[in-house]
Structure 1
Amino acid sequence: MEIDCDVLVYGGTSGAVGTAVEGARLGLRVLMISPSEHIGGVQIEGLGATDIDGQVEFQNSPSVGGIGLEFHHRISAAYGRSQKLETVLKEGIKDPSVWRFEPRVAESVVKNWLGEFPNIQIIKASISPAKAVDKSGGIVTKVHLSNGLHVSAKIFIDATYEGDFLASAGVSTTFGREASSVYGEMLAGVRDETIYGQIEVSIDPYRTPGDPSSGLLYGISSEPFGTPGMGDDHLMAFSFRLPLTDNLDNQLPIYKPEGYDASHYELYRRHALAGGRLYTPIVRIPGSKTDIVGCEAPLHLDLIGMNDGWADGSAEKRMEILERAALFTKGLLYFYTSDESLPLPFRKEWQRFGYPLDEFPDNNHFPRMLYIRDGRRMVSDYVITHHTAARDGGEPLVHDPVAVAYWPPDTHDARRVVRDGRVQNEGFIFKDKNNKWKPFGISYRSLVPKRVEAMNVLTPTCPSSSHLGYGSVRIEHQFYELGQACAIAADIAIKQGIPVQDVPYDTMKKELLSRGAILDASKVGVPSFPDEGLK
């Protein structure tokens, strides 16, 4: 069966929603192809404690604008707190609570929002693994779907976290960590010193203590540490953004999952016995619920090294990783509540919590998808790097911003290895003494491929960036705003009959500003650095 549209949006993420809604408002015929049954990205899978105004060192709410801010207006309306949000915005108040929400509320808001536009058609399918894309020269003409549909469009937009469409369309992509030599990024590649979230106690890494021949404990890689600054294919750790609740009336108690293997948590047991720092849940989103990030303690819910193969993996490979990650995470929660080697107060605190009965009813109240922090990234003529975000000696502000990235280069650990006989996490960069950063404008050039590769393709979620550069861009409200920019660019390209590379920025800028977009990074404030306050 053949279908045609103006704009094909591939993906079910926040970036896909932002693109589809703005495209529909512009009068375009939008077809959203979502490989996932549930649309809205990680925000409907547990990320309710948003990355807005939650850090001591900075207030980034002044950078939230356009359709990203509209999403939060709709969320606040659903909670009956619109006046509170208006006050926070008008008076410049730093209040993280007004930006937070439950996954079920976010999904309802997204569903209703998309439903307002009859010119948005949604199909739940994926691109064909055999032959996905037809091209003529640098023009993509048709996409073939796994359900047998063939879709023609004028503009194609990859709004996945993984860049699957880009790769199928022959657009240059990469994944993993570049060597520091590729873009001259001091913090790139294997980190000689990982400070944030590091294991602080000595743990014997071997199944039989002191016996290397017995093999390493589950969760520790046998890979050599390597040379600092070298690149690799590892992704930053995924995790489930886990909402639990301490409301007994809305709670499925934490249970022992089928397939539980106590030996998989021996590393955690030894860490606790050695006095390692432990984490207990914190209620921080509405509905008496948590949003467990995964990295709040050196050994916690970040699934370090368990996502190898995801970025370019088949659907079957990704499902295998997802199921293994879900079993491990459910098992870890059961371990926290039941293993007698753990401190009793710690166990009792975890026992207060359970899976919320009003979330994820189709998946036994557990998130259906991982937080995909890292996948493929486009490689185009312009690349966002650590220099783009660097405060001292970094790049000047770009001349074609379509949104502002107000977040530090943030990459979770990529590996857990043995170094000098000790278990170490490796790769986390966040609140690093060498990571002095600034907000920056996200260049339109980072959303468009090389002209020779594709002239009618855009991406809001896999922009041309290094591993470190992407660490500042990969924030959900920013994906909404980049989706809005992609839709505006698509509309201009279609109306003027030009490649996306030739969309006049002044025209885009006018349209974005009329929609409340924030484009000037010099006016949103700057982070503070506690160590500098001591000088």
Structure 2
Amino acid sequence: MKPYPFLYFLFSALLPIFLSAQPKYEADVIVYGGTSAAITAAVQVKKMGKSVIIVSPDTHLGGLSSGGLGFTDTGNKEVIGGLSREFYHRLYEHYQQDNSWVWQKKAEYGNKGQGTPAIDGSNRTMWIFEPHAAEKVFEDFVKEYSLTVHRNEWLDRSAKGISKKGGKIRSFRTLSGKQYSGKMFIDATYEGDLMALAGVSYHVGREANSVYNEKWNGVQTEVFQHGHHFKAKISPYKIENDPSSGLLPEVSAEPAGAYGSGDKRIQAYCFRMCLSNHPDNRIPFPKPVGYDPARYELYARVFASGWRETYDKFDPIPNRKTDTNNHGPFSTDYIGKNYDYPEASYERRKAIIKDHELYQKGLMYFLQNDPRVPADVRDKMQQWGLPKDEFTDNGNWPHQLYIREARRMIGEFVMTEADALGKTKVPNPVGMGSYALDSHNTQRYVKADGYVQNEGDIGVHPDRPYSIAYGSILPKVKECQNLLVPICVSSSHIAYGSIRMEPVFMILGQSAATAAVLSIDNKISPQKLPYEKLREVLLKDQQVLERQ
């Protein structure tokens, strides 16, 4: 007799035992993510007396706040309160210590980044900082509040990765086989993977202006509100002005689309590079694997046109370092190479991240070594390199790609352009924003006249700081009744351009946690939580909810 029926019987008998042996964890609140919002959410849960587990796909905590974005996009600092402001206060305290100044004297740096007094007039803040200093603050939060953090735990995004009953998440699994059960869940990732797996509605890309009666959403051809466009007529072809020669690298052959129309394009990603010009703390940029100087021919033509803004976003942070961001028509933004990232598999996302890394490392090598780069630019660039004392377990390269935008929930309330410009009064505020409607370029295309241009770069300032509605962090009640989403919030593309700042993510993380705990205490869903109960606690914890 063949053994197969016996083996099948044995497997069937042992499977329940195997599954029951998988590690299981339970807490009042499960926070998925390792971002700044995840940490503030977990701290708030513990402060309110409930148990919490952070399930982080990342090893390093803090997301972009500890991943290179040290020159904080704040807007009006007076509307940043609660644990978000506490984070920046702790950075101020860090830089009051003499031993924090290794490569530069404190007096030499001066008061850059010190900001304004805290709301109560006692604590001060530091808005500009080094990556390792920010990570230390997050790790200090973990220690002080005895937070349970499970690192390198990736959500199983298959159908078997989540258990849901009666409109509520019961548990989710990670790829390692661990199971996490809770009363409330918070998706504090940049991608919104738990939100999506839970069956919550979301959008990827730009809505047409007609969807929410907006002006700055959708395709924005011939709109130039920063300096990130081609100011001179530059040919996109391998042989200048010869279409038959084919397009240069980094130029799309796709049409831009009709002005104001929606599409699936998202604003460009990049790494916020931390660089050093201290000779004893500087690592020269090596030639990256697969480096092809032809990839940067378009940049060479920008220089040949007379453009000289290379260093306009080498923003100084302490200890002779920078937070280097995208600037100009051809820079660190890897335009058009991230469209599939939000919903891609982990393997595909990893490849996209690596492609961004090689593009940027190649760009830096090009600027330091290529004879097509003007000598003055090349000479100055050779003074910069990766700092030896940052990202020491990742080849001194940032561990977090700047995911400026991925999925955006379609929740109980959708924040739109008018809301983010301060023109409306939103219901039930849980925090405030004030930064410009800021979208980076989404595509680089060939215009009808045969020259190259970028599209999608928007920077429109609000009339005043604006409130962010509680409903924007809540899924529709029919879709999920125990999940809050403080990063992939319910908003249009262009409104998200302002909301998507790290201080705001921390604010919303704290507010989401507050709502989660109050919902547990009152034995109701967050959607049915009386707003006055939530408002009372938020104000007590020094959150700023509306303009006075």
Given that residues 207 and 217 in structure 1 are in contact (C-alpha distance below 8 angstroms), is that contact kept between their aligned partners in structure 2? Answer: yes
Matches within 5 A, 1:350-389: 350-389=381-420
The C-alpha deviation readout for 1:376-416, integer Å capped at 9, x for no partner, is: 0100131001011235xx3x222311111111111111001
Which of residues 236, 258, 277 is equivalent to 1:246?
277
Give SS of 2:29's match.
Answer: strand
Which position in structure 2 is the counterpart of 1:438?
A: 464
Gap runs ≥5 in structure 2: 1-22, 99-110
User: Could you tell me how far apart the structure 1 residues matched to 2:198 and 2:244 are?
Assistant: 47
Which of residues 313, 324, 328 is equivalent to 1:292?
324
Distance 1:92 1:352, change over 3 A: farther
Q: Note the C-alpha offset of 1:341.
A: 1.4
Given that residues 172 and 379 in structure 1 are in contact (C-alpha distance below 8 angstroms), is that contact kept between their aligned partners in structure 2? Answer: yes
Q: Note the C-alpha offset of 1:491.
A: 0.6
User: Could you tell me how far apart the structure 1 residues matched to 2:120 and 2:368 are?
Assistant: 41
Given that residues 367 and 378 in structure 2 are in contact (C-alpha distance below 8 angstroms), is that contact kept between their aligned partners in structure 1? Answer: yes
Q: Note the C-alpha offset of 1:221.
A: 0.8
Q: Note the C-alpha offset of 1:213.
A: 2.7
Matches within 5 A, 1:80-159: 80=96, 88-89=116-117, 98-130=126-158, 131-159=160-188
Q: Matched residues, percent identical?
A: 39
Distance 1:86 1:337, change over 3 A: closer
Which position in structure 1 is the counterpart of 2:33?
A: 11
* Code of the aligned partner of 1:483: G
Give SS of 2:117's match.
Answer: helix
Given that residues 114 and 126 in structure 2 are in contact (C-alpha distance below 8 angstroms), is that contact kept between their aligned partners in structure 1? Answer: no
Q: Note the C-alpha offset of 1:372.
A: 0.6
Which position in structure 2 is the counterpart of 1:167?
A: 196
User: Could you tell me how far apart the structure 2 residues matched to 1:107 and 1:191 are?
Assistant: 37
Given that residues 11 and 160 in structure 1 are in contact (C-alpha distance below 8 angstroms), is that contact kept between their aligned partners in structure 2? Answer: yes
User: Could you tell me how far apart the structure 2 residues matched to 1:371 and 1:229 are?
Assistant: 26
* Code of the aligned partner of 1:487: A
Give SS of 1:88's match.
Answer: coil
Given that residues 389 and 438 in structure 1 are in contact (C-alpha distance below 8 angstroms), is that contact kept between their aligned partners in structure 2? Answer: no
User: Could you tell me how far apart the structure 1 residues matched to 2:185 and 2:245 are?
Assistant: 52
User: Could you tell me how far apart the structure 2 residues matched to 1:2 and 1:376 are?
Assistant: 29
Given that residues 130 and 317 in structure 2 are in contact (C-alpha distance below 8 angstroms), is that contact kept between their aligned partners in structure 1? Answer: yes
User: Could you tell me how far apart the structure 2 residues matched to 1:91 and 1:446 are?
Assistant: 26
Q: Note the C-alpha offset of 1:154.
A: 0.4
Distance 1:352 1:156, change over 3 A: same
User: Could you tell me how far apart the structure 1 residues matched to 2:382 and 2:233 are?
Assistant: 28
1:401 aligns with 2:432: no
Which position in structure 2 is the counterpart of 1:225?
A: 256
Which position in structure 1 is the counterpart of 2:245?
A: 214
* Code of the aligned partner of 1:172: S
* Code of the aligned partner of 1:206: Y
Larger radius of gyration: 2
Q: Note the C-alpha offset of 1:248.
A: 0.6
Gap runs ≥5 in structure 1: 54-59, 524-535
Give SS of 1:316's match.
Answer: helix
1:71 aligns with 2:124: no
Given that residues 277 and 297 in structure 1 are in contact (C-alpha distance below 8 angstroms), is that contact kept between their aligned partners in structure 2? Answer: no
User: Could you tell me how far apart the structure 2 residues matched to 1:406 and 1:278 are?
Assistant: 27
User: Could you tell me how far apart the structure 2 residues matched to 1:500 and 1:72 are?
Assistant: 29
User: Could you tell me how far apart the structure 1 residues matched to 2:328 and 2:221 are?
Assistant: 20
Give SS of 2:217's match.
Answer: coil
* Code of the aligned partner of 1:289: K
Distance 1:181 1:27, change over 3 A: same
Distance 1:119 1:100, change over 3 A: closer
1:279 aligns with 2:307: no
Matches within 5 A, 1:294-309: 294=326, 296-309=327-340
Which of residues 198, 211, 231 is equivalent to 1:182?
211
Which position in structure 1 is the counterpart of 2:486?
A: 460
Which position in structure 2 is the counterpart of 1:191?
A: 220
Given that residues 28 and 119 in structure 1 are in contact (C-alpha distance below 8 angstroms), is that contact kept between their aligned partners in structure 2? Answer: no
User: Could you tell me how far apart the structure 2 residues matched to 1:179 and 1:5 are?
Assistant: 41
User: Could you tell me how far apart the structure 2 residues matched to 1:72 and 1:443 are?
Assistant: 24
Given that residues 256 and 334 in structure 1 are in contact (C-alpha distance below 8 angstroms), is that contact kept between their aligned partners in structure 2? Answer: yes
Q: Note the C-alpha offset of 1:469.
A: 1.1
* Code of the aligned partner of 2:305: A
User: Could you tell me how far apart the structure 2 residues matched to 1:353 and 1:206 are?
Assistant: 31
Q: Note the C-alpha offset of 1:90.
A: 6.0
Give SS of 2:219's match.
Answer: coil
Given that residues 472 and 490 in structure 2 are in contact (C-alpha distance below 8 angstroms), is that contact kept between their aligned partners in structure 1? Answer: yes
User: Could you tell me how far apart the structure 1 residues matched to 2:401 and 2:84 are?
Assistant: 22
Given that residues 158 and 458 in structure 1 are in contact (C-alpha distance below 8 angstroms), is that contact kept between their aligned partners in structure 2? Answer: yes
* Code of the aligned partner of 1:286: P
Which position in structure 1 is the counterpart of 2:42?
A: 20
Give SS of 2:444's match.
Answer: strand
* Code of the aligned partner of 2:270: S
Q: Note the C-alpha offset of 1:79.
A: 1.3
User: Could you tell me how far apart the structure 2 residues matched to 1:175 and 1:485 are?
Assistant: 25
Q: Note the C-alpha offset of 1:87.
A: 8.7
Given that residues 408 and 437 in structure 1 are in contact (C-alpha distance below 8 angstroms), is that contact kept between their aligned partners in structure 2? Answer: no
The C-alpha deviation readout for 1:417-476, integer Å capped at 9, x for no partner, is: 111211111001104xxx654321011111111000000000110110000111111010
User: Could you tell me how far apart the structure 2 residues matched to 1:293 and 1:429 are?
Assistant: 16
**What TM-score, normalized by structure 1, do the two folds share?**
0.91
Aligned positions, number: 507
Given that residues 218 and 263 in structure 2 are in contact (C-alpha distance below 8 angstroms), is that contact kept between their aligned partners in structure 1? Answer: yes
Given that residues 24 and 120 in structure 1 are in contact (C-alpha distance below 8 angstroms), is that contact kept between their aligned partners in structure 2? Answer: no
User: Could you tell me how far apart the structure 2 residues matched to 1:240 and 1:232 are?
Assistant: 24
1:29 aligns with 2:51: yes
Which position in structure 2 is the counterpart of 1:529?
A: none
Q: Note the C-alpha offset of 1:210.
A: 2.7
